[in-house]
Structure 1
Amino acid sequence: MTASIVTIVYVNDAPASARFYGDLLDMSPSFETPGYIAFDLGPGADLALWSGQFENLSSAVPRTSEICLAVGGGPGRLDELFEEWKAKGVTILRAPSDAGFGRTFLAADPDGNRIRVAPQD
């Protein structure tokens, strides 16, 4: 079976969120409508931002899932990325630390959705 995985993140403002994610990922959307914007992350993987599904999402609501950005370059690259994101004003929920799978940190988008940065397997 051939399939793609599309991770959908609910946001208040899809264009604003696309600017946020586009800046973090250093890429442009591959598909855009006013309320649904997608990024092609590679073969079989997309990140989609969808607004209008829930009114007034609050960043105060606990999130039970995360988007995980797996980066290469080792622990040093992860620490550099942490400093870059912090300098951009990204909300940091947990500073870099060592976990069972390697060095990681946790951030949040403007709607409170969690973004974990971890080492590439």
Structure 2
Amino acid sequence: MATPNFIMLYVADAKSSADFYQTILGRKPVQYSEGYSMFVLDNGFRLGLWKRGTIDPPAEISAGSGELVFEETSDAAVDERFAEWTGQGTVVAQKPTRMSFGYTFVALDPDGNRLRVYKLAQ
């Protein structure tokens, strides 16, 4: 069985998106060009940023139709991440709130892709 280990986001400006993700991930991309950047996280998961208009075959683009999800170890860690990201100017779609699955907030990247941070309810 194949196991996903990589997500690709289609972006308007690969450089500004790479700068944004470098800030929130706290690491530089391992691959960088005008049309594409890739980050590799400590757990081996990869995040690719591909410039729209250079994708082959062309794709219909709809930001916000999915989420890149970040799990935290505590509610306090969710609040810390919220403070960190908002302090960096990240746009927030949902402030920290308690939902049926846990404590969470949602931010947006420069292209409107959703970034959910959460602590799973016990």
TM-score normalized by the length of structure 1: 0.82
The match for 1:58 is none
Q: What CA distance in whole angstroms lies between the structure 2 residues aligned with 1:83 and 1:94?
A: 13
The match for 2:68 is 67
Contact persistence 1:36–1:50 (CA under 8 A):
yes
Cα 1:43–1:3 change in 2 (3 A) is: farther
Q: What CA distance in whole angstroms lies between the structure 2 residues aligned with 1:2 and 1:120?
A: 26
Ranges of 4+ aligned residues in structure 1 off by more than 4 Å: 1-4
Residue 6 of structure 1 aligns with an amino acid whose one-letter code is F
Could you tell me which runs of 5 or more consecutive residues in structure 1 were left unpaired when the two chains were aligned: 55-60
Cα 1:3–1:111 change in 2 (3 A) is: same
Does the residue aligned with 2:116 lie in a helix, a strand or coil?
A: strand
Q: Does 1:6 align with 2:6?
A: yes
Residue 87 of structure 2 aligns with an amino acid whose one-letter code is A
The match for 1:23 is 23
Residue 64 of structure 1 aligns with an amino acid whose one-letter code is S
Q: What CA distance in whole angstroms lies between the structure 1 residues aligned with 2:48 and 2:106?
A: 20
TM-score normalized by the length of structure 2: 0.82
Q: What CA distance in whole angstroms lies between the structure 1 residues aligned with 2:2 and 2:68?
A: 23
Q: What CA distance in whole angstroms lies between the structure 2 residues aligned with 1:15 and 1:101?
A: 35
Q: What CA distance in whole angstroms lies between the structure 2 residues aligned with 1:37 and 1:63?
A: 20
The match for 2:116 is 116
Cα 1:112–1:2 change in 2 (3 A) is: closer
Task: Report the RMSD for the aligned CA atoms in angstroms.
Answer: 2.3
The match for 2:57 is none
Q: What CA distance in whole angstroms lies between the structure 1 residues aligned with 2:43 and 2:88?
A: 29
The match for 2:76 is 76
Cα 1:29–1:119 change in 2 (3 A) is: same
Residue 71 of structure 1 aligns with an amino acid whose one-letter code is E
Q: What CA distance in whole angstroms lies between the structure 1 residues aligned with 2:72 and 2:22?
A: 16
Contact persistence 2:11–2:49 (CA under 8 A):
yes
